[in-house]
Amino acid sequence: MGMRGAARSPSANTPPAALIDAFRALDANNTESLAPLLVEDGFDAEAIRVLAAWPHTECPWTAPARACPDEGRPTQAAWRWLMSGLDVDVTAIADLANVSCDIAKDKLRILISSRLVYPGGDISAAGHTALRAAVAERVRAGRDKKPPKSKVESDAEDAN
């Protein structure tokens, strides 16, 4: 996977849809791929933000010079080959995720190796599950907090 700092126009090349579909079929019920996103008290917030930024960033794909290994079957070698054709705009992802470029690179390596993201800005089913769960977690946490007192309530308490 190539990582770059500035945006450029997308390549005319497209990744092989049949190979991506084969990986999707493998990943359809793979919740184990979420393990790298989990921390002691829930989801890794930075990884979730990078995951959420992925579909909003252009990452052109150019076919690698060598042929796809394993005759295009969904193997680790074929996944590495597929992802090596990506030109990832780390700066754009870091900006959208509100993290540093170094953190974005680290989190992207985790997301890619866990097959939570695909070329073309797609996210795996498990990745979508993680995003929904992280949002629900944030909503629950917000509900558990005591709402701030309104100005009127604060003034009334001060007068007593």
* Mean pLDDT computed over 61-85: 93
Cα–Cα distance, 111 to 47 (Å, whole number): 8
Q: Where are the domains of the chain?
A: 2-159
- Give the pLDDT confidence of 52-70 residue by residue, as tens digits: 999 999 989 999 999 999 9
pLDDT at 152: 58
Cα–Cα distance, 135 to 43 (Å, whole number): 10
Residue 94 has pLDDT above 60, yes or no: yes
Residue 43 vs residue 109, higher pLDDT: 109
CB atoms within 10 A of CB 33: 19
Residue 156 vs residue 66, higher pLDDT: 66
The mean predicted confidence, pLDDT, of the chain is 84
Cα–Cα distance, 145 to 30 (Å, whole number): 33
Residue 88, token pair as written in the block:
């990832």
pLDDT at 105: 97
What Rg do the C-alpha atoms of the chain give, in angstroms? 20
pLDDT at 42: 80
CA distances in angstroms from 114 to 15, 34, 79, 81, 149, listed in the order given: 18, 8, 10, 15, 44
* Residue 36 near residue 47 (C-beta atoms within 8 A): yes
Residue 34 vs residue 21, higher pLDDT: 21
pLDDT at 82: 95
